[in-house]
Amino acid sequence: MNTIDSSQLLTQLRAASLQAQGLNTPEIGVGAGNGIEQSPAAKGDFSSMLSRSIDMVNNMEKSSSNLASEFEMGNPNVTLPEVMIAKAKAGIAFEGMVQVRNKVVESYQEIMRMPV
């Protein structure tokens, strides 16, 4: 049975926190397609940043679904804790994206209420 490496999980959380703050993060070797690595060209306008974030959340959802499917099919290399952690990460990312959307809509509505 595989155990959860808490130091790797903590490193991933710190890297995600730095990414959320807009700081460059060093490559930490947590796998491709997770959105944690940030290239120098990744800085840009808001729309491209938002698009990349949506793509990242979508990729996390897809990978967690694929991992869950592999577990359900009986793949011995996939453990239940891995599936649960992937689902939790995807859920948190999606919830964060919903909060960003809510703030953007709220800001837009506030601007539209301003007298000109």
Per-10-residue mean pLDDT, the chain, length 116: 62 72 52 49 72 92 95 93 94 93 92 89
Alpha helices by DSSP H, the chain? 6-20, 46-72, 80-113
Tell me, what DSSP letter sits at residue 24? -
Q: Does the global pTM surpass 0.75?
A: no
Amino acid identity of residue 60, one-letter, is: M
Residue type, 8: Q
Task: Provide the pLDDT for residue 14.
Answer: 73
Displacement of CA 60 from its chain's centroid (Å): 6
User: What is the rounded CA–CA span in Å between residue 101 and residue 111?
Assistant: 15
Find tokens 């000109």 and name the residue. 116
pLDDT score recorded for residue 30: 44
Q: What is the pLDDT of residue 9?
A: 63
